[in-house]
Structure 1
Amino acid sequence: MYIIKLDAIDSTNSHLRAMTSIKPPKDFTVVVTEHQTDGRGQMGTNWQTEKGKNLTASVFKKLNGFKVECQFYISMVVSLSICKALKQFQIPKLHIKWPNDILSADRKLCGILIENVIKHNQFQGSILGFGLNVNQKQFDELPQASSMSLLAGRIYDKDEVLSNILEQLQLYFRLLDSQEYDTIKSEYEALLFRKGKPSTFRTTDNKTFTGIIKGVTDIGKLKVLTEDDIIKTFDLKEVTLLY
């Protein structure tokens, strides 16, 4: 494992991607920064973070020969790794809000951005970016955000948190290498936020409907039992869970 620590950078994912364009980094190369000036989230959103208070990192994982159609399992593995690490730090009521936000109860702790490196339709590797709220106490205009410190009432050592996450990533990627797809999916679905509960969703044309989350498909679509007793599947850009 090779860890690159930087004081400030625009984006840890962008830094790793630039490295990858020159030469694929070593497996489990990690870029971590004290301050990310242009962090990115899902679907082009920005990740806001207070300098020095949180854990902002990206990991390069070699995945030569991995099946492109199985890429959502990478997202599941990263989500599970972070949840398992947080559990060791006594963070309560952990859930995964589809596809890969990490929540404690209904408060967001961590965002994940995965960028796969695919050349000639062949997997080369994956850049696993995550922003975890560790010691930040104030979240202006972010009422659904929280941090490890706010939840547990203590200050955490960010290096220790990172070490635990990296350890869990190695364990879960070994499961993925062994093609333990059923085990990974079962664990992921068990942690899905609001699974089995009536929930409200909003579509891209601003319409709302009620349904019950039943799980995910192998390619990562959300399975929802709708009011007419039909299980429908939705892609990330097609529906938003309101909570």
Structure 2
Amino acid sequence: MYIIKLDAIDSTNAYLKSMTSVTLPKDFTVVASEVQTKGRGQMGTFWQSEKGKNLTVSVFKRVNTLNIDEQFFVSMAVSLAICQGLKKFRLPKLKIKWPNDILSEDKKICGILIENVIKNNSYVGSVIGFGLNVNQKFFYNLPNASSLYLLTGVLQDKDEVLSEVLNKLKLYLGLLDSGELAAIKEEYQSQLFRIHKPSTFKTQIGETFSGIIKGIDNDGKLRILIEDDIIKSFNFKEVNLLY
């Protein structure tokens, strides 16, 4: 594992992606920064993080065993790795909110942004970015956000938290390399927030509807049981699960 630590950067994902445009970095190259000035979340959202309080990290993983249509297995493995890494810190009710937000007590503590590297129509690697709220105490206009400190009352050693997460990342991404796709999908589905429970969803155009999460497809679409016992699949741009 090769770790690059920075005081400040616009985006750790952008830093690693610029490296891939020249040549693929070493497998498991890690970039961690005390602050990101242009940290991003899913669909272009901004990741709010107080300097020095949280983990803003990106990891490059070479991919040799997955096809382009199997990209979501990386997201599943990363989500599970972060959940498992955080169990040491006794966070209550850890769950994965589809597609890959990490929740504790129904509050978001970690966001994940994965940008895949495609060369010559082949899937060759992933830039895995995550922002993990560790010791931040205040979140402005983010009622669903929290941190390890707020949930446990303990100021955490960020290096210890990072070490636990990276160790679990190596474990779960190794399972991908070994072809353990079915096991990863099964565990991911077991950890989904509100699976098998009546839930409310919002569409892109602002309409809401009720349904029950039944699982996911291999390409990451969410399978929802809606009216008339119909199961319909949605991608993350089509529907948002409300808290």
TM range (shorter): over 0.9
How many residue pairs are counted as aligned between the two chains?
Answer: 243
Amino acid at match of 2:180: E
- The answer as to whether partners of 2:216 and 2:222 remain within 8 angstroms in 1 is yes
Q: Which residue of 2 aligns with 1:67?
A: 67
Q: Which residue of 2 aligns with 1:8?
A: 8
- The answer as to whether partners of 2:65 and 2:176 remain within 8 angstroms in 1 is no
- The answer as to whether partners of 1:28 and 1:59 remain within 8 angstroms in 2 is yes
Aligned counterparts of 2:62 and 2:75: Cα–Cα separation in 1 = 15
Aligned counterparts of 2:42 and 2:205: Cα–Cα separation in 1 = 19
Q: Which residue of 2 aligns with 1:146?
A: 146
What's the offset of the Cα at 1:66? Answer: 2.6
RMSD (Å) for aligned C-alpha atoms = 0.8
SS in 1 for 2:64: coil
CA offsets per residue over residues 116-159 of structure 1, 9 Å max, x none? Answer: 00011111210000000000000011110000011111111111
Q: Which residue of 1 aligns with 2:190?
A: 190
CA offsets per residue over residues 89-128 of structure 1, 9 Å max, x none? Answer: 1111001000000000210000000000001111121000
Q: Percent identity?
A: 65
- The answer as to whether partners of 1:215 and 1:223 remain within 8 angstroms in 2 is yes
Amino acid at match of 1:63: V
- The answer as to whether partners of 1:65 and 1:122 remain within 8 angstroms in 2 is no
What's the offset of the Cα at 1:67? Answer: 1.1
TM-score (normalizing by structure 2): 0.98
Unpaired segments of 5 or more residues in structure 2?
none
- The answer as to whether partners of 1:196 and 1:213 remain within 8 angstroms in 2 is yes
Aligned counterparts of 2:104 and 2:66: Cα–Cα separation in 1 = 32
- The answer as to whether partners of 2:195 and 2:214 remain within 8 angstroms in 1 is yes
Amino acid at match of 1:107: K
Q: Which residue of 1 aligns with 2:39?
A: 39
Matched, 1:172 2:172: yes
Matched, 1:121 2:152: no
Q: Which residue of 1 aligns with 2:156?
A: 156
Q: Which residue of 1 aligns with 2:56?
A: 56
Q: Which residue of 2 aligns with 1:130?
A: 130
Aligned counterparts of 1:34 and 1:88: Cα–Cα separation in 2 = 23
Larger deviation, residues 65-74 vs 51-60: 65-74
What's the offset of the Cα at 1:64? Answer: 3.0
TM-score (normalizing by structure 1): 0.98
- The answer as to whether partners of 2:65 and 2:177 remain within 8 angstroms in 1 is no
Matched, 1:220 2:220: yes
CA offsets per residue over residues 30-57 of structure 1, 9 Å max, x none? Answer: 0000000000100011101000000000
Q: Which residue of 1 aligns with 2:83?
A: 83
Amino acid at match of 1:182: A
- The answer as to whether partners of 2:64 and 2:177 remain within 8 angstroms in 1 is no
Amino acid at match of 2:164: N
